[in-house]
Amino acid sequence: MKRKNNFTGIIVLVVLVAIAGGFGFVYLSPQFEQNKPEIKFEEKEYWNLKDSLKISIDDNSGIKHYKVIYKDDNNERVLEDKILDELKNSIDLEIKPPKLDMFFKGENVSIILEATDRSKWNFFEGNSIRKEYRIKIDKKIPVANVIGNSFAIRHGGSALVIVEVHDENLKDAYISFNDEERFDLIPFYKENFYIALIAWPVTIEEFKRVNLIAIDKANNKTITKVPLYIRALKVKNDNIKLSEKFVKDISVNVLQKSGLDVPSTVEEIFVKENRILRKMNTDVLKEITRKFMNKDKIDSFSIKPFKRLEGSKTVAGYADRRHYYFNDEKIDQAWHLGMDWASIKNASIKATNSGKVIFNDYLGIYGNTIVIDHKLGLQSLYAHTSKSHVMAGEEVRANTKIANTGSTGAVFGDHLHFGVLVQGIEVNPLEWMDKDWIKTRITDVIIDAKKVINSK
């Protein structure tokens, strides 16, 4: 009897071990993995029913089936339903929007995503997941109208644009030049109206198109052309012979003060300073001015014509095309983007217009530089200074002494490089030194636009 009981116990133990082993195999085997597929969906708060939905599904055991369903309050439609014949651990889907009939009228809809993997878990049915995402349908494009603008724009010059933009789900609105440069809009006068100075950068030869672009949260986009006549720019070409002494004394110093390595040859040193560092410096100007320019609502705008440095002579103009030679070989070229005025050494520099100092620091080829913001995205720049009398963040009044001329940066001698910037892009200062130009291109446009707005 005892022997029989021992045998029965062994049988029970073997069965239990077998069952445990079976369960262990099921739990530990990759074929019976229990992880549900992972669904990644580019979640949208709004959908325009034009753009495709981007979905990715991942699973270690492979994806067996997926389904995408569009559903409103009363109806639903399957957008895609597929069983995969071949093993895929990851798939990326672009689901096209449905062509809906009259019965689908909901503005608040659901996108339902279902996926099943190839695991043998769940009685060989696999692991399944179902996710539902709520989306608001918005098919209406933003309103984007041009209310007024300057008659024309010159290569290297400025223009003013006043627009009307509104959409209950507006995400972004701006002015685009050739799809290459963006100019932010500033609130103007009344709700839904905006104003912006724009520039035709002298570095962009061809004028293609200036657009007002408005985009809502559903990615509906309105593109409205800004009607502008264009004017050519008279370019003055200068051939400049470089000496080894200038490059080693000036260019090397500018590179070192800017934290850049100095190449071994004279040609490489100058090109690095004139091309690479120049690009870095102009990028800083654009970044700083667009970050710190005043974007408060504007009802009107008044600016005095900028004045030349007192008692000075113009030694270089805007858009001079400089060609640099070393040992009679051309090694580089660059645009000169301001006015160079020379007077006595350490001459006093005064601000023509009031504004806020948004930059006061060493800036590579520009040397010690001050930038003053005058609102409306307009800034004035004072470079190569020897001494500063203002600080960043300080409000300055017209006719305030802000600095003294000097020879800091990449220069041959003491002078002031004066520049005018539109949202960080240097434009032709001569326009902003001309009283009639300011009146006809800026002030009158604002007055006329307000009349149009008031008549709405």
Residue type for position 285 = L
Q: How confident is the prediction for the chain on average, in pLDDT?
A: 91
Average the pLDDT over 2-19 and give the result. 56
The alpha carbon dihedral of 18, 22, 25, 28 has a sign of negative
Please name the helix (run of DSSP H) or strand (run of DSSP E) that holds residue 448, with its range, or none: helix 444-455
Please report the beta strands in 17-169, taking only residues with DSSP state E, as ranges in sequence order: 38-41, 46-47, 53-58, 63-71, 76-83, 90-95, 108-117, 128-137, 143-149, 152-154, 158-166
Q: In this predicted model, what pLDDT tens digit does every residue of 364-420 receive, in sequence order?
A: 999 999 999 999 999 999 999 999 999 999 999 999 999 999 999 999 899 999 999
pLDDT-derived band at 25, boundaries 50, 70, 90 = very low
**% of residues, the chain, pLDDT over 90:** 80
**45: three-class secondary structure by DSSP:** coil
List the Cα angle 219/222/224 in 5-degree steps: 155
pLDDT-derived band at 282, boundaries 50, 70, 90 = very high
Nearest Cα to Cα of residue 201 among 335, 110, 53, 347 = 335
In the predicted structure, residue 24 carries a pLDDT above the cut 90: no
Based on C-alpha coordinates, what's the Rg of the chain?
34
The 8-class DSSP code of residue 230 comes to E
Alpha-carbon distance of 399 to 69, in angstroms, equals 68
Cβ atoms 380, 374 nearer than 8 A: yes
Average the pLDDT over 42-61 and give the result. 90
Residue type for position 1 = M
Buried b (16+ CB within 10 A) or exposed e, 121-134: beeeebbebeeebe
In the predicted structure, residue 278 carries a pLDDT above the cut 70: yes
Count CA within 13 A, CB hemisphere, residue 285.
Answer: 34
Cβ atoms 357, 379 nearer than 8 A: no
Alpha-carbon distance of 52 to 351, in angstroms, equals 54
Residue 44: other Cβ atoms inside 10 A: 19
Confidence (pLDDT) at 101? 67
In the predicted structure, residue 42 carries a pLDDT above the cut 60: yes
Cβ neighbours of residue 417 closer than 8 Å, sequence gap 6 or more: 338, 339, 340, 366, 381, 382, 383, 384, 411
> Tokens 């802000």 map to which residue?
402
**309: three-class secondary structure by DSSP:** coil
Confidence (pLDDT) at 28? 46
Average the pLDDT over 333-354 and give the result. 95
Confidence (pLDDT) at 267? 94
In the predicted structure, residue 341 carries a pLDDT above the cut 60: yes
Buried b (16+ CB within 10 A) or exposed e, 205-219: eebeebbbbbbbbbe
Alpha-carbon distance of 114 to 375, in angstroms, equals 53
Average the pLDDT over 43-49 and give the result. 87
Q: In this predicted model, what pLDDT tens digit does every residue of 236-276 receive, in sequence order?
A: 999 999 999 999 999 999 999 999 999 999 999 999 999 99
What is the distance of C-alpha 387 from the center of its chain?
A: 34
Average the pLDDT over 37-41 and give the result. 92
Cβ atoms 330, 323 nearer than 8 A: yes
Confidence (pLDDT) at 120? 86
**Backbone φ/ψ region at 179: left (φ over 0), alpha (ψ -120 to 50), beta:** left
Confidence (pLDDT) at 273? 94
Alpha-carbon distance of 178 to 180, in angstroms, equals 5
Confidence (pLDDT) at 103? 53
Q: In this predicted model, what pLDDT tens digit does every residue of 155-166 receive, in sequence order?
A: 999 999 999 999
**% of residues, the chain, pLDDT over 70:** 92
pLDDT-derived band at 95, boundaries 50, 70, 90 = confident
pTM of the model: 0.87
